[in-house]
Chain A
Amino acid sequence: MINPRLAWSAVLLLAGAAQAVEFTEIQPADSKLVFTSKQMGVPVDGGFGRLSGQIRFDPAAPSAASARLEIDLSSIDAGSAEATEEVVGKQWLNVKAFPTAGFQSTSVKALGGDRFEAVGQLTIKGRTRDMTAPFTFKQEGTAGVFDGVFVLKRLDFGIGEGTWSDVSTVANEIQIKFHVVAGAAQH
């Protein structure tokens, strides 16, 4: 037998979960951006320590979502002290002239389930290119967690000029993984 009171509670709970929750506050301490480059076929991991920005994301209305992310390029760890020192230099990220990289979304669409796709523009080293990044969304407690992977072609942004533009030593493709945690703003 179904207990009518229990059934009502379940309905109320479901209604509560369906209530619009928008995730807005990026939590920099929990968010991270890591990447894997390939040198002579060897995968080398790196990452950025500082990621900030604004997000508006309601899983119930993804088409209204937007994101603006900013990465402090000086917070890079390229996998070794020698590489980290090298990549902030002129031929690579030229961090002195271009201290941040940014992503501005233009549209977000649902791919079904917890999968979505963000389309937008990525600006690095003064160059802006269109990019598409699929991501998953999960709610963990009161926070929303966005996880995605995309491949960036470094030469599209002039990352690694001169002798470094040779992609047989450092591959053109760099895999980028983002993990963004944002707090909820209740409406």
Chain B
Amino acid sequence: MKKPLLILLIFISLTIIAKAQDFEYGTFKLEDLEMKHYDKDTSAHAVVLNEYGRSRIDATSDDHIKIIYEYHVKIKIFDSKGFDHANVEVLLRDNDEDSETIENIKGITTYSDDNGSMSKTELEPGKVYKSKVDKYHTLVKFALPSIRNGCIIEYQYTTYSRYLQLFPHWDFQSDIPKMHSEYDVHIPGFWTYNASLRGSLKLTTNKAEVESGCFSAGGGKSDCSHLTFGMTDIPAFIEEDDMTSRKNFLSAVYFELAEYTNPYNGAKTKMAKEWRDVDYDLKHSEYFGSLLRKKDLFKERIIPVIAGKTDSLARAKAVYEYIQKTLKWNDFYATGSNDGLRKVLETHSGNVAEINLALAAALEAAGFNAQAVLLSTRENGFINKLYPVQEEFNYVVAKVDIGNKIYLLDATDPLLPFGILPLKCLNDQGRVMSLDKPSYWIDMNSTQQRRVRTSALDLTLQPDGKLKGTMTQYLFGYAAYEERKAIKKFNSVDEYVENLDERSPRFKILNSEISNLDSLDMPLVEKYEIEIKKYNDLYKDRLVFNPYITDHITRNPYRLQERNYPIDRGMPLTERFTLVVHLPDNYIVDTPPQDISIGLPNKGGLFETLYQASDNSFTFSHIIQFNKAIYSSEEYAYLKELFNKIILSEKAPMTLKKKS
């Protein structure tokens, strides 16, 4: 997915002098103004005509070294559905120590006025608004004036940032197509960044050259590497279900700081270039390692928790439940602690890292060898494996090995059973961090989480046309977790069952029994005695009967002609249904359902139905199975077809006939 561009260290030629240049502000082509639609995507409501960005590192007049980022874009807006592109927001990091600033905001709209002649309106500086969003951010907003169908907007601004470790990345692709997009990067030799390209599109410009003597600060002078990345004719990005973060697939270039030399004193600082450096930093940090180390804080606390538990699994579960019950997640993701463990224990509240590092420490206190696992959630994107970048992680879970088994634990949700991670964590690989061993990668779904559901219906068709009998459902693994969450949305089980009963006037629940609702390690079992008003009475000679009684997949989740990124379902799934129907004496099955068996390539999954008849009753069972968590885009068509066959099968009813 990500190709390393090791261009920063290799300069092929110094003779090419093809300077990337910003396009001229305030100019336009008459043909652009007259353009009625974009030929390469005629339905686009707007298209980027040109986009240019430039980042450089320089000493500014306030004697700080900053990243100076210039952004400049020109967008053609075809109709009012594209007007939102004229509302601009720039988010700046803003806290007490280091505030980013913005300058040179300029905007202009070019349009055909009421008489058909060309007019221009400039953005008034007084109409740029700033507001503090939270402790760490300020939002700068402006709206381009004189927006109307067919206009061209253009704006530019420059931001200044002292966060040299956060070098601006560049998205070539967005929700609207772009004709041209170019990013120009100047990096003095004092700094070394690793660049990585994401997405499936190819660069049309990719240059590297050396600029001599371009940087000087505090007596230090250096050359710069000048890199140019460009793309033309970039299509808009399209999303669909079962996709992880769009960041993974959007064409973009990212930069990570590898090392730098202080221009004032020549001191060299290696940013975490090797994992062992990161390991060392984390282990000795206040925000991470110190929490892992605090097992003494738990020694006393967990004595009553594990008292009398000799089995190590039972002991670990008790510690896990203790943390789940004692600490409440404050809804913040984090890879480190803000306030330290003492404060967390005092307030009973913490972010993801605080809670799960506390869990690891508590497990250590109980005599286990526990580790922390840094990971990136599904919406946060994949992790770069070439070199360590701490900022790419956004979540921490705990890991403990008992016997030969690995358990990954997240104590932020009281409904998660021991050893099951929330879906958002099942992304790519995580990095296992411990106090005494080097870190290493682990597959986030290495514990083979699955959704498993088994349903059984045993129904009797009564002379009054009603189907009466039992419905039993067993839910395992992640399916049980999801169902528990749904049940717990109600104030009591009775209210949940009442809601089920209220869902359809055809479907009545006469009795219910839900077991293991709070025993998270056990399968969740729901048993219902039900009555379904199927037919108004039984006088007809022929009855249409659809054996898919409770669950229907009515829409294919995959509807694109093709898809060029993988289908990530998070985890495998198995669903089995068995329906037994006892018929009245005077009816027999006329046309039974056709047995179906369809599989995905390489045993990736299947859909099968099976019909068996006996005296006055029949059994219809079917199974849906997806054995993989992630399918490649080549497998898309097969998945689509599998869903198609399920839907078709659900549409083909059987018929019953009165005995003559």
Tell me whether A and B are bound partners: no
Q: List residues of chain A with CB under 8 Å of any chain B CB.
A: none
Q: List residues of chain B with CB under 8 Å of any chain A CB.
A: none
